[in-house]
A and B are shown apart, each in its own frame.
Chain A
Amino acid sequence: MEEAKIQKLPKKYMNPYLAGVLLGIVILLSFYLTHEGLGASGAFKRGVAKVEQIIIPSHVQSDKSAFKHYVTDGKDPLKNRLVYMIIGVFVGGFLSGAVNNRLKLKLEHSPKITSRKRAIAAVIGGALFGIGSAFGRGCTSGAGLDGLATLATSGFVVVGMIFGVGYLVAWFFRKLWI
């Protein structure tokens, strides 16, 4: 029993170029098999639409909601491939964490800031991403990666803006990270 208690060290991360090629093959297969690429934000939008459908159906079915098209004719917003994909992302992430000894409950932050400060930054950053990915019609995956893979103008513009603005403002938020 003692052996099981010995903490195993996390394994090294995969070579980024190998990971990139594998991820590219996954994107390619996704297009080949289902005519669409990857996506992450869409599932959460649909989750929100589902909750709204239950608690404030009059709102989400009206023109006042951005998610009207998810629920027209009583459709179930969760009956969509992106919902299954995000479940897969959780499962796949967990599997890799388990295989590589990285499963650990932890609030990760720079040693120069407190957990509290990191938590506040994470919730603000998350909220901005929620609003931004709604305007951008997808996030780094659905608008960005898929967009670059299909050479869509929207993808290049969104990726250019995410990283361009990121670099522009990084200096102001450097104390959160370095």
Chain B
Amino acid sequence: MGPLFFATDEWSFVIALVIGIAFGYILESAGFSSSRKLAGVFYGYDFVVLQVFFTAAITAAIGLLFFEYFGWIDLSQIWVNRFYTGSAILGGAIMGFGFVIGGFCPGTSACASAIGKIDAMIFLGGFIVGVVIFDAFYPLYKTFYKAGNRGAVTIYEDLGMNREVFLLLFVLFAIVSFVVTAYIQQRVSQKSKKY
């Protein structure tokens, strides 16, 4: 039963490399190597970010559910990110600004750099500067950063639902968002945008 390896196994390094190659290949193939395409999600001319992102999340979430039903995976062994309330909210907000201003996120900037996008390389440089800044001033917000740890909580438990019902609602929400954004994209792109 899965998971087969743990992060400390050296095999997981080899697997991570292969998974990273697939990750980068798919991102680039879907057009995530173009900042103008990515930023489209905020201006209605290209919703590829939302389409790929939600489809991937739903596929993986449903897959995990079925793997558990088949007894292939022990979900209690899966890493679920810890929720530090204030820090997560602030971090997400800062990343929102970073995405709109910079046009990339770290993963997409890495894959765009790989095909020669200079703006992505500059973004990555800025990203590293940001990490250094965070570490340099860490004592100032260390207490805040570590406060409000609610552990590996899940959204369906927090909402008082069971996993399957929440997942179904999530899938429906995604489908509605695909339909609505397809309509918006059609309206906006009558002004025709090219990259």
Minimal Cβ-Cβ distance residue in B for A15: B30
User: For the complex, what is the distance from the CA of A20 to the CA of B26, rounded to whole Å?
Assistant: 8
The interface bits of chain A over 50-90 (1 if a CB of B lies within 8 angstroms of the residue's CB, else 0) are 00100000001001111100000000000011101111111
Q: Which residues of B contact A164 (CB under 8 A)?
A: 92, 96
Tell me, rounded to whole Å, the shortest Cβ–Cβ distance linking B183 to chain A. Answer: 16
Q: Could you tell me if A34 and B95 are in contact, using CB atoms closer than 8 angstroms?
A: no
Q: Could you tell me if A166 and B122 are in contact, using CB atoms closer than 8 angstroms?
A: no
Secondary structure call for the B interface: helix
Contact of B176 with A by CB under 8 A: no
Secondary structure call for the A interface: helix
Q: Which residues of A contact B25 (CB under 8 A)?
A: 92-93, 95-96
Minimal Cβ-Cβ distance residue in A for B96: A165
Tell me, rounded to whole Å, the shortest Cβ–Cβ distance linking B58 to chain A. Answer: 7
Tell me, rounded to whole Å, the shortest Cβ–Cβ distance linking A154 to chain B. Answer: 4
Tell me, rounded to whole Å, the shortest Cβ–Cβ distance linking A68 to chain B. Answer: 9
Contact of B172 with A by CB under 8 A: no
User: For the complex, what is the distance from the CA of A63 to the CA of B112, rounded to whole Å?
Assistant: 35
User: For the complex, what is the distance from the CA of A38 to the CA of B45, rounded to whole Å?
Assistant: 28
Q: Could you tell me if A81 and B94 are in contact, using CB atoms closer than 8 angstroms?
A: no
In-complex Cβ contact of B111 among A90, A105, A108, A124 (8 A): A90
Minimal Cβ-Cβ distance residue in A for B90: A135
The interface bits of chain B over 1-20 (1 if a CB of A lies within 8 angstroms of the residue's CB, else 0) are 01111110100111111111
Q: Could you tell me if A138 and B131 are in contact, using CB atoms closer than 8 angstroms?
A: no
User: For the complex, what is the distance from the CA of A67 to the CA of B119, rounded to whole Å?
Assistant: 28
Known: A108-B119, A129-B130. A20 touches B53 (CB 8 A): yes
Within 8 A of A (CB), among B78-110: 78-85, 87-110
Minimal Cβ-Cβ distance residue in B for A23: B56
Q: Could you tell me if A150 and B116 are in contact, using CB atoms closer than 8 angstroms?
A: no
Within 8 A of A (CB), among B109-166: 109-120, 122-135, 138-139, 142, 145, 150, 152-156, 158, 163, 166
Q: Which residues of A contact B20 (CB under 8 A)?
A: 84-89, 91-92
Known: A107-B118, A122-B126, A127-B129. A22 touches B26 (CB 8 A): yes
In-complex Cβ contact of B15 among A19, A34, A63, A135 (8 A): A34
User: For the complex, what is the distance from the CA of A47 to the CA of B129, rounded to whole Å?
Assistant: 12
Q: Could you tell me if B105 and A140 are in contact, using CB atoms closer than 8 angstroms?
A: yes
Q: Which residues of B contact A95 (CB under 8 A)?
A: 21, 24-25
User: For the complex, what is the distance from the CA of A106 to the CA of B111, rounded to whole Å?
Assistant: 14
Tell me, rounded to whole Å, the shortest Cβ–Cβ distance linking B147 to chain A. Answer: 12
Q: Which residues of B contact A100 (CB under 8 A)?
A: 28-29
Q: Which 3 A-B pairs have the closest CB atoms?
A: A125-B102, A130-B130, A88-B20
B residues neighboring A (CB under 8 Å): 2-7, 9, 12-31, 33-37, 39-43, 45, 48, 51-61, 63-64, 67, 72-73, 77-85, 87-120, 122-135, 138-139, 142, 145, 150, 152-156, 158, 163, 166-167, 170, 178, 193, 195
Question: Other CB < 8 Å A-B pairs besides A85-B16, A149-B57, 10 of them?
Answer: A20-B30, A21-B55, A24-B55, A34-B6, A89-B110, A93-B33, A129-B105, A130-B134, A139-B105, A170-B100
27 contacts between A and B (CB under 8 A): A14-B30, A17-B178, A21-B55, A23-B59, A26-B22, A28-B63, A32-B72, A40-B110, A48-B131, A65-B138, A88-B18, A93-B110, A93-B112, A100-B28, A103-B115, A104-B115, A107-B117, A107-B118, A125-B126, A126-B122, A126-B129, A127-B130, A130-B128, A141-B106, A145-B60, A147-B81, A159-B92
